[in-house]
């Protein structure tokens, strides 16, 4: 999933803003990378190990669904 988004995200921005847009998206992703271990530790201590798989699976499914539904098509588009 992460590799697919890393290829897809830069194509969402015009050429003059591509590095800034991609950098911002990567920064948000890194923020959640920092938060995730704490969320996992809390879930593990309060809800059990199954809850970790359920929550992470739900988050990944939501990201995939939102990307498919609202992500603009980048195939055969002219770079601006």
Assigned token pair, 76: 């055969």
Give me the phi and psi of 48, to 5 degrees please: 105, 170
3-state secondary structure of 46: helix
Q: Alpha-carbon torsion 30, 35, 39, 45, what sign?
A: positive
Q: What is the pLDDT of residues 7-51, one digit of tens each?
A: 888 888 888 999 999 999 889 989 999 999 999 999 999 999 999
Domain residue limits, the chain: 2-70
Cut 0.75: pTM above it: no
pLDDT of res. 1:
60
Residues 6+ apart with CB under 8 A from 39: 55
């Amino acid at each position: 999933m992460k590799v697919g988004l890393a290829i897809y995200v830069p194509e969402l921005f015009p050429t003059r803003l591509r590095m800034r847009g991609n950098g911002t998206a990567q920064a948000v992703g890194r923020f959640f990378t920092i938060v995730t271990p704490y969320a996992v530790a809390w879930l593990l201590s309060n809800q059990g190990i199954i809850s970790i798989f359920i929550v992470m699976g739900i988050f990944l499914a939501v990201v995939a669904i939102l990307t498919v539904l609202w992500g603009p098509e980048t195939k055969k588009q002219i770079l601006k």
